[in-house]
Amino acid sequence: MAKILAVDDSASMRQMVSFTLKGAGHQVTEASDGVEALKIAQGQAMDLVLSDVNMPNMNGIELCANLRQLPSYKFTPILMLTTESTGDKKMAGKTAGATGWIVKPFNPDQLLTTIKKVLG
Amino acid sequence: MSAAAQESVEIEKIQTTEEGLATQQYLTFLMNDEEYGVDILAVQEIRGWERATMVPNSPSHMKGVLNLRGTIVPIIDLRDRFQLPSVDYSDITVVVILKVDTDKGDRTMGIIVDAISDVYDVPIGKVRTTGVAENRNSHFIKGLVTVDKNMVILLELQKLLTIDD
Amino acid sequence: MSVDLSQFHQVFYEESYEGLDAMEQGLLEMNVDAPDDEIINTIFRSAHSIKGGSGTFGFMQVANFTHVLETLLDEVRSGDRSLNQTTMDLLLVSVDCMRDMLQALQNGEEPDMSNADDLRAQFEAILKNEDPSQALAQSANSKEGSDSGQPPSDKSGGDGAGADGKNGWSIDFIPEPQLLQTGNEPTRMFRQISELCDGNMSVTVKTDNLPSFSSLNPEHCFLNWHIDVHAPLEKSVIDEVFEWVIDDAEINIYPLGQSCEAESQKIQESEPDKQVTPAAVEPIAVTTSQSTDEKPKAPQKAAAPQESSSIRVDIDKVDNLINMVGELVITQSMLGELGENFDMGRVQRLQEGLAQLEHNTRELQESVMKIRMMPISFVFSRFPRLVRDTARKLDKKIDLVMSGENTELDKTVMEKLGDPMVHLIRNSMDHGVETPEERIKNGKSETGTVELKAYHQSGNIVIEIEDDGAGLNTERILQKARENGVISEDANLSEDQVFDLIFQPGFSTADVVSDLSGRGVGMDVVRRNIAALNGSIEVFSQKNKGSRFVIRLPLTLAILDGQLVQVEDQIYIFPLVSIVESIQYQGSELNNVGGHSDVLQLRDEYVPILLLNQTFGIQTENDDLDESIIVVVEADGEKIGVVVDELLGQQQVVIKSLEENYKKVEGISGATILGDGTVALIIDVSGLSKLSVTSLKDLDRKVKNHKAA
């Protein structure tokens, strides 16, 4: 079981991700934008952060950069959920310190397979 | 022999003849010396009579509305409803609160009866639905059953609670 | 693991409608010549979320359509494309189109794609910098057009190089020192490969680059690895393992047994269009310093026509509730403890505890009520579009000015407020604001203004709709009212009374209701709708200056300010807003009209009198009315005097449904529970006036006949 922070401004995506992860036995905390996620992250360490890229207030890239500044998130895997299929957005994420990405649309099985790459 | 023990003997007798039949529990009450039964699952609570708030221009059997833990519940005088001679309410007059799933959703209603009688296990197959005399109240009646040599009139709650006037 | 995605559909629809509303609002706010970055971002984000969600939940029609939109918006966002009016109009139409598609899907129907396909063809033409109107013709007979709308599939890495490597693969993995800082961990990748090849692999660590201990940064990675995989895997499978680190490491993958030089194939090279343009990062950076009061504009809901059964609650409100329940629990346990060892010496503490309990309960009640409160922007948000479209249709220039969008009111009230407001706004635009020519002729600026205001005033919400147009035409209204028999020929009315005529049933003049604003529905319906919400509407007007409609509504339908009255042993409640005045029965000017019923002469008006005990069939022991009170109430513009025994106090009451377990009762709108736990019925004033035998019009006639006789 891992502690996972799921960040997305879309409630349906958040619910889907959260439901899937909880179903696989993980402990999930949800946040609806970067600001909320950062606040949660400042309070506790997570084993994995899954974040959408396009969000109001603080987007996923900024969140990623901010998380890497926190001592307890220096090496935490951060995966970006992105519909951006072009390489430049992925690069932006990498530059900000993201571990990898999951391309939307994805189904629950793809999600679980992908996070297995970075957990444990 | 206590009433309960006697009842169980009686039930046993029924069950030997109607092997394996499902039973349904009925709460029975008295009204004008007749015994009536309602499905016990519909019974929410039994409370003493208290004065209800009158509702304007309602039929005479509609005795008003009561506050039941925040919901407004109409109270029906069953004697009046069945056009039986009315009696004065007293300290022992009882209100049975019933909740029934109707086509308009769950409805809660109280019925005023003379006194509570008993709880019976009634085998469903034992309920006589034919031969009930057609009269003005017959559409409220689900059937008749004999328990302990007494005839019990089982009430059709859906009808009782949805028929407006 | 199988997850039933349909459980998320409802949420997806709701947030998509909100997103569409936000897009629409953004588009309407946007100045084409100087687009605001934040607005473009909001619009883009909405399209983006809808695309992501619809793709995930299997609504490919919507995803494909949204993809073109998103691409276009992305270009705008990154400054590669400027907006023009044609594009803006297309974007607005596509918001409607997506809404239709989603609604069809929500109703379990197949969306009609003809509209969407046309729009998509036009967007594609724009993207190719062609004339979008040309694209329409093409789209009809070209199927390729729709295929290009597919979101490009995202394939990184290998391109069928798996033909080799029948024996396995050799991998050189030489990470950059900062690899670990992105959260990537080489051991996890090795584990993944090991799983792929069932452990048929060997890993060799190379420590060549390891610096001396003194200069070793423990957070950096100085190790290199050589991996031999002894399994016939597809190369793409191995590429995928290193997908996330190709830029942070040198990775060489080649068939087992060959040398690296012979057929080295850097993954970097197989990655297509890897343009690292840092500039592209800039535009999506949303400034976090953005003031928070601007932010709540984004999620707008009410424009979605669905009466949604769920409600979105601000997290602060929920936290607040939780805090209060916490306090309640503390009070409860304090009281519980007090009750266990109670003696009369502690009665003081008991009283304090009970006072605390009362306080907690009241606060909790207020907070619970607040959950249903939503900013009126949920209604207002649809008006910019309405005004824009209507103004175009009317060939008028009209600015919409809104204020007080954050004023909160009950969700139920809000849902029922939309239609009357649409009617009033259309009315103001159609009949209030003049054409540009007329305005100039009257010395006004060419552009008219319709102003919407919302604010709280003494427990009510007040909404004003004001225009700077021609004002109500009193002569025309009087003329129409006489023609329609709403008033008698010789009626002498004050200006206010004349204005009030427009709310009379059966009154409709071209000056007040047109096909556009009316569709056969008059102002009387508006007034009735508002009255049904326990509210009122008034109109103020000045010739050539404009008109102002003022709507007053209770903040919530769940609570009512009531006047308690007593009739015999029964207590009834009048909504305070409906009461005009209360007077003593004794000494009032009462007339008996035509032997039928009493009327009260109230200044220059005749008001029918109704005895509540008679109307409600309450048994009376006392026929003497001298001590009685006449409560003059007004509903639907008609006054009646209701005779009761006594006025009791005024208090806020929580409205309970009588219909839930019983049925609708004429003259009664609901019930409430009084402090002593008994039930009191709330009087429906407009229903009551229907119960009264004489209506106002009959009465007027009778009074006149009576006088004439």
**Side-chain-facing half-sphere of B18: CA atoms under 13 Å:** 15
C396 and C518 in a single domain? The answer is yes
Contact yes or no for C662 and B57 at CB 8 A: no
CA B20 to CA C507: how far, in whole Å? Answer: 72
**Does residue C323 sit in the same domain as residue C179?**
no
Residue of B nearest to C677 (CA): B67
For B3-8, the CB contacts below 8 A with 24+ separation are B3/B118, B6/B148, B7/B118, B7/B120, B7/B147, B7/B148
Beta bridge partners of C541: C547
Single out the residue in C147, C179, C210 at which a domain terminates: C147
Active site residue C70: yes
Nearest-neighbour CA in chain C from B89: distance (Å): 18
At residue C453, the pLDDT reads 93
Nearest CA in chain A to C64: A105
Q: Which residues of B touch C680 (CB under 8 A)?
A: 53
Q: C671: nearest CA in chain B?
A: B72
d(CA C120, CA C361) in angstroms, rounded, equals: 56
In which residue are the tokens 């397979």 written?
A113
Please answer yes or no on whether A118 and C183 come within 8 Å at the CB atom.
yes
Distance from CA of B141 to the nearest CA of C (A): 21
Q: Do C482 and C389 share a domain, yes or no?
A: yes
CA angle C672, C676, C682 (to 5 degrees): 20
Are C542 and C669 contained in the same domain? no
Contact check, Cβ <8 Å, B65/C660: no
Of C48, C56, C277, the CB nearest to A16: C56
| Residue C303, domain member (yes or no) | no
Residue C223 within any structural domain of the chain: yes
The two tokens of residue C169 are: 């693969």
Q: Contact C49/A99, CB-based, under 8 Å?
A: no
Per-residue DSSP letter, C656: B
Chains B and A physically touch (3 or more Cβ atom pairs below 8 Å): no
Tokens found for residue C572: 């009834």
Query: For residue C185, what pLDDT is reported?
Result: 81
Of residues B54, B56, B164, nearest to C663 (C-beta): B164
**Co-location of C582 and C699 in the same domain:** yes
With beta carbons under 8 A apart, name residues in chain C contacting B66.
679
Inter-chain CB proximity A91 and C290 less than 8 Å: no
In this prediction, residue C665 carries a pLDDT of: 86
- Which domains can be identified in chain B, with CATH numbers? 3-162 (2.40.50.180)
Q: Please tell me which of the candidates C617, C660, C673 has its beta carbon nearest to residue B56.
A: C617
Distance from CA of B62 to the nearest CA of C (A): 10
Consecutive H or E run containing A60 = helix A60-69
Instruction: Give the C-alpha separation, C385 to C559, whole Å.
Output: 33
Q: Distance between CA atoms of C594 and C99, rounded to whole angstroms? A: 60
What is the C-alpha to C-alpha distance for residues C299 and C14, in angstroms, rounded to an integer? 11
Which chain B residues have a beta carbon less than 8 Å from that of C668?
A: 55-56
CB contact residues (below 8 A), chain C span 257-296, against chain B: none
Partner chains of B (3+ C-beta pairs under 8 Å) = C
**Could you say which of C5, C56, C248 has the minimum Cβ distance to residue A104?**
C56
Element (H, E) at C565: strand C559-567
Is there a catalytic annotation at residue C129? no
Residues C118 and C215 in one domain: no
For residues B67, B68, B73, B74, the Cα torsion angle rounded to the nearest 10 degrees is -70
Q: Which residue of B has its CA nearest to C613?
A: B56
Beta-carbon pairs below 8 A across chains A and C: 156
> In which domain, by residue range, is C622 found?
559-708
In a domain, C167, yes or no: yes
Which has the closest alpha carbon to A40: A2, A77, A71, A6? A6
Q: Is C143 on the interface with B (CB under 8 A)?
A: no
Same domain for C647 and C564? yes
* pLDDT at C32 (0 to 100): 77
Q: Which of C589, C583, C599 lies closest to C692 in space, CA to CA?
A: C599
With beta carbons under 8 A apart, name residues in chain B contacting C558: none
Selected catalytic residue, list C14, C18, C24, C70: C70
Quote the tokens at residue C143: 């199927």
Instruction: Provide, as residue numbers in chain C, all residues whose Cβ is less than 8 Å from the Cβ of B163.
Output: none
Predicted local distance difference test score (pLDDT) of residue B16 = 41
Task: Give which of A26, A47, A83, A112 to mutate to test C binding, by max C Cβ within 10 Å.
Answer: A83
Helices C37-56 & C60-77 angle (0-180, nearest 10)? 160
C15 and C132 part of one domain = yes
Between chains, do C616 and B56 touch, taking CB under 8 Å as contact?
A: yes
- Is C185's CB within 8 Å of A12's CB? no
Give the pLDDT confidence score for residue A81 in this predicted structure: 85
Contacts of A5 in chain C (CB under 8 A): none
Task: Look at chain C and report how many structural domains it folds into.
Answer: 5
The pLDDT of residue A37: 93
Whether C693 and C633 share a structural domain: yes
Would you say C561 and C667 are in contact if contact means Cβ atoms under 8 Å apart?
no
Of residues C14, C18, C48, C534, which has the active-site annotation? C48
Mutate to test the interface with C, among A4, A10, A36 (most CBs of C within 10 A): A10
State the residue for tokens 């029934």.
B100
Which entry of C41, C360, C427, C529 is annotated as an active-site residue?
C427
Whole-angstrom distance, CA of residue C26 vs CA of residue C240: 40
A74, C7: Cβ pair inside 8 Å? Answer: no
Chain C residue at shortest CA distance from A65: C182
Q: Does residue C23 fall inside a structural domain?
A: yes
Interchain CB distance below 8 Å, A105 and C8: no
Contact C574, C683 (CB under 8 A): yes
Question: Cα(C126)–Cα(C348) distance, rounded to whole angstroms?
Answer: 79
Q: What SS3 state is found at C307?
A: coil
Q: Which residues pair with C540 in a beta bridge?
A: C548
Residue in the block written with tokens 């969700």: C411
**C548: CB partners within 8 A, 6+ apart:** C464, C465, C466, C467, C539, C540, C541
For residue C220, give the CATH number of its domain. Answer: 3.30.70
Q: Spell out the alpha helix ranges (H) of C484-570.
A: 495-500, 523-532
Q: Decide if domain A3-116 falls under CATH 1.10.287.1260.
A: no
Q: Residue A55: list chain C partners with CB under 8 A.
A: 45
Does C543 lie in the same domain as C401? yes
Q: Contact, C661 vs B71, CB < 8 A?
A: yes
Whether residue C387 sits in one domain with residue C366: no
Q: Is C279 domain-assigned?
A: no
- Residues of chain B short of pLDDT 70, as ranges, are 1-21, 130-137, 162-165
- Closest partner CB to C1 (pick from A109, A117, A120): A109
User: Strands across the sheet with C668-673, in order?
Assistant: C646-654, C559-567, C570-575, C679-683, C668-673
Cβ atoms of C464 and C453 within 8 Å: the answer is: yes
Which residues in chain B are closer than 8 Å to C618, comparing Cβ atoms? 54, 56
Is C130 labeled as catalytic in the residue annotation? no
Per DSSP, what are the bridge partners of residue B24?
B122
Spell out, as residue ranges, where chain A has pLDDT lower than 70.
84-90, 120
Q: Note which residues in 69-108 of chain A have CB less than 8 A from chain C.
A: 74-78, 81, 83, 85-89, 91-92, 94-95, 97-101, 103-108
CA distance B68 to chain C (A): 9
Which residues on A lie below 8 Å from C61 (Cβ)?
none
Nearest to C547 by CA among C537, C557, C556: C537
Which H/E stretch holds residue B109? strand B105-113
- Tell me if chain B has a CB within 8 Å of the CB of C675: no
Judge whether C292 lies within some domain: no
C361–chain B Cβ distance below 8 A for any pair: no
Q: Which of C147, C182, C215 is the last residue of a domain?
A: C147
What does the pLDDT look like over B86-111, one tens digit per residue? 888 887 789 999 998 877 778 899 99
Residue C177: how many other CB atoms lie within 10 Å: 14
Mean pLDDT in consecutive groups of 10 residues from the start of chain C, 709 residues: 77 88 86 81 87 85 86 83 82 88 86 84 82 58 42 42 66 83 82 82 82 79 84 81 80 76 43 40 37 38 44 79 87 87 85 86 80 84 87 89 87 84 88 90 91 82 91 84 77 82 70 43 80 84 91 79 91 90 81 67 83 84 80 82 91 84 86 88 84 52 51
